[in-house]
């Protein structure tokens, strides 16, 4: 467990392998079906950015790097440590929000903000139920897009 030194508030804790992601308050464990790939998964909270480990198997193979980066993104990582300059462009492409992802995040935040203003705890956007977790992911998408210079002003 990790506590904030100033407040004593718990920041995160480890879940044993196999524990449900839903009950985890910080870190969880994932293993591929073939057992060849194992990762610790960090919950997105406290404005932490989870960065995946570097991919070493074939650093000059863009397709292999892309496959590994896509898995990391699916698991909630927002980037990867890189071992070789050949991996930079592929990982920037994978971890930078697309125009469609940015547009969707903007619609989610607009619906969420309107619902909050009306005193509601949930919203609907694009036919999808929106609760705080989805709104936070949309805000994260927009923050990453802003940092990457992808938002038009």
Average pLDDT in the 37-55 region? 68
Name the residue with tokens 């293993």. 31
Regarding predicted confidence, which is higher, 10 or 60? 60
Span of 26-30, 105-109, 128-132 with lowest mean pLDDT = 26-30
Is pLDDT of 108 > 70?
yes
Residue 144: exposed, middle, or buried by beta-carbon count in 10 A (0-12, 13-18, 19+)?
buried
Phi and psi at 105, nearest 5°, equal -60, -40
Is pLDDT of 129 > 90?
yes
Average pLDDT in the 1-21 region? 55
Kindly list the domain boundaries of the chain, sorted by start residue.
Answer: 2-95, 99-147
**Three-state SS letters, the chain:** CEECCCCCCEEECECCCCCCCCCCCCEEEEECCCCCCEEEEECCCCCCCCEECCCCCCCCCHHHHHHHHHHHHHCCCCEECCCCHHHHHHHHHHHCCCHHHHHHHHHHHHHHHHHHHCCCCCEEECCEEECHHHHHHHHHHHHHHHHCCCCCC
* pLDDT tens string 20-44: 444 445 556 667 777 777 666 655 5
For the chain, percent of residues with pLDDT exceeding 70: 73
CA distance 90 to 135: 27
Q: What is the pLDDT of residue 35?
A: 74
Q: What is the pLDDT of residue 18?
A: 43
């Amino acid at each position: 467990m990790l506590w904030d030194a100033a407040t004593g508030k718990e920041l995160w804790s480890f879940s044993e392998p196999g524990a449900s992601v839903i009950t985890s308050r910080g870190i969880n464990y994932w293993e591929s079906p073939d057992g060849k790939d194992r990762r610790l998964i960090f919950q997105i909270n406290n404005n932490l950015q989870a960065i995946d480990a570097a991919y070493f198997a074939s650093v000059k193979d863009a397709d292999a790097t892309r496959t590994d980066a896509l898995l990391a993104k699916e698991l909630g990582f927002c980037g990867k440590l890189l071992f070789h300059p050949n991996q930079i462009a592929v990982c920037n492409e994978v971890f930078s929000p697309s125009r469609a992802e940015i547009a969707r995040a903007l619609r989610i935040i607009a619906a969420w903000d309107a619902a909050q203003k009306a005193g509601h705890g949930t919203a609907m956007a694009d036919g999808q139920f929106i609760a705080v977790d989805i709104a936070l992911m949309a805000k994260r998408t927009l923050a990453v897009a802003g940092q990457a210079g992808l938002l038009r002003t």
